[in-house]
Every structure is written in C-alpha cells, then in structure tokens.
Amino acid sequence: MSVFQRDIRPYIGRRSSIQVKAAVLVLNDNGEVLLLKRPRSGEWGLPSGNLKPGEALEDTAARELWEESGLVADRLRLLDLFSGPRYVKKHPGGDEEYYVIGLYGADGVRSAINMPQGKDSEVSLKYFGFDELPKLDPLAVRLLDHIGQS
C-alpha cells in the first residue's frame, strides 16, 4: 500500500484505487537489464514509482531512475503503456490497486553528479542477463514478460 493510500484510508474506507506509475528499462552494452533489490520483499525489480501531482510521466521515470539507482539518462523513450487485469495488486485486507504503467527505455545512462540520499540510495543494483534473472517482483515479471524478455 502506498503512503498516499495509507493516509487517505481513514477517510475513504476500503476502495479500489488507480495508481499511475513509470518504470525504466536500462540495458547495458551486453544487453543485460538493470534490476534493483527491493529491501522489504527481497525481490528484484525495475526502477519504478508513482506519478506525483503535477508531474509528467516521463519526469516520473527520470526521477525514479535517479532516486533508486543514482543514474540519469540522456533520453527516455516510451516503450509501451500497460493497464488491465494483469496490472492489479490485491492486498490481504481487500484493497485493490489498479496500475497504469508507462515503461520507458533509457538511452545514454550515466551516474548522476548529485547522488540521492536516504533509503532509496541503499538498494542493491545489478545487471542480469535475461537468461539468469533472479526472483522478480510481480510488476517486473509482467513488464518483462510482455516485452518478450523473460
């Protein structure tokens, strides 16, 4: 459950919500995909996160890439937009999150001059070949499966 949902739950009760997210696909020169290990679940996933009010989806992708990996991209390309029954997260208490996800490809990736501080800067990052993927979070499984890479 997102912080936003936790904060509004007392006011709206248990309802479904729509979350708009951006995810970033970073490939190195060997065609390996950059994944980050989620501290709570121990699963690996793509840099991703929620759209903030007033933010363009491409800006969300750039911000999440930087916050979660310390990387910046010269160019982000919208690869695809995902929604529908495969992109629903059901929580134990009955809440449901329906995702609309923009998947961006990153070109010209390099380390940022100013590195992010805080919890997101402590994640593990690693490039993996598509034939040696670790245990992925459900969102990464769906996105990589859809683009034919898992």
**What span, in angstroms and rounded, lies between the C-alpha atoms of 4 and 47?**
19
pTM of the full structure: 0.84
Residues in Cβ contact with 8 at an 8 Å cutoff, skipping those fewer than 6 apart: none
All structural domains of the chain, each given as residue ranges with its CATH number in brackets, are 16-145 (3.90.79.10)
Could you tell me if 144 and 136 are in contact, meaning their C-beta atoms sit under 8 angstroms apart?
yes
Sheet containing strand 33-37, strands side by side:
44-45, 33-37, 124-128
Question: For the segment 34-61, what is each residue's pLDDT rounded down to a tens digit?
Answer: 999 988 889 999 999 999 999 999 999 9
pLDDT at 150 over 60: no
What is the spatial distance between Cα 51 and Cα 129, in angstroms, rounded to a whole number?
Answer: 29
Q: Give the pair of three-digit tokens for residue 43.
A: 């699963």
Enclosing H/E stretch for 118:
none
pLDDT at 121: 47
**CA end-to-end distance (rounded Å), the chain:** 26
Q: What is the pLDDT of residue 107?
A: 97
Mean predicted confidence (pLDDT) in 128-147: 92
Quick: pLDDT tens for 77-116: 999 999 999 999 888 877 889 999 999 999 999 987 665 5
Confidence check: pLDDT of 64 > 80: yes
For the CA atoms of 14, 54, 48, 61, the dihedral, rounded to the nearest 10 degrees, stands at 160
- State percent of the chain over pLDDT 70: 85
**For position 95, what pLDDT does the model report?**
84
